[in-house]
Amino acid sequence: MQKIDKSIILSKGYETWLQDLRDKNKEHRTCSKYRTDVVMSLLYCQRGVCAYTEMRLCAPDLITEDKWNETEYIKRAANRDITGDLEHFDPTIKKEFHCEWDNLFMIHHKVNILKNDSNIEFIKPYKPDSEGYNPHEIFDYDSETNRFRPNSDIEDKAEVERIKKLLKLLSINQGFVCYERKTFFNDVKYNKNKSIDRFYTAYEMIQTPCRIERDFK
* Mean predicted lDDT score pLDDT of the chain: 85
pLDDT at 119: 66
Measure the CA–CA gap between 167 and 170, rounded to whole angstroms.
6
Q: Which of 155, 2, 28 is nearest to 101 (CA)?
A: 28
CA of residue 101 relative to chain centroid, distance:
14
C-alpha distances in angstroms, 126 versus 1, 34, 67, 200?
Answer: 9, 27, 31, 17
**How many C-beta atoms lie closer than 10 Å to residue 59's C-beta?**
12
- Determine the average pLDDT of the residues in 72-100: 79
The stretch 185-213 carries a mean pLDDT of: 80
pLDDT band at 217 (very low <50, low <70, confident <90, very high): very low
| 84: three-class secondary structure by DSSP | strand
Q: Which amino acid is at 152?
A: S
Q: 11-59: per-residue pLDDT in tens?
A: 888 888 888 888 888 877 777 788 888 899 999 999 999 999 999 999 9
> What tens digit of pLDDT does each residue of 35-44 get?
888 899 999 9
pLDDT greater than 80 at residue 121: no
Residue 207 vs residue 167, higher pLDDT: 167
How does 79-109 read in b/e, with b if 16+ C-beta sit within 10 Å?
eeebebbbbbbbeeebeebbbbbebbbbbbe
- Model confidence at 75: pLDDT above 80: no
pTM higher than 0.85:
yes
Q: Which of 175, 35, 164, 177 is nearest to 106 (CA)?
A: 35
Indicate if the alpha-carbon torsion angle 5, 166, 81, 194 is positive or negative: positive
- For the chain, the farthest-separated pair of C-alpha atoms sits apart, in whole angstroms, at 57
* Residue 209 pLDDT > 60: no
- The predicted pLDDT at position 140 comes to 93
On the question of pLDDT at 210 being above 80, the answer is: no
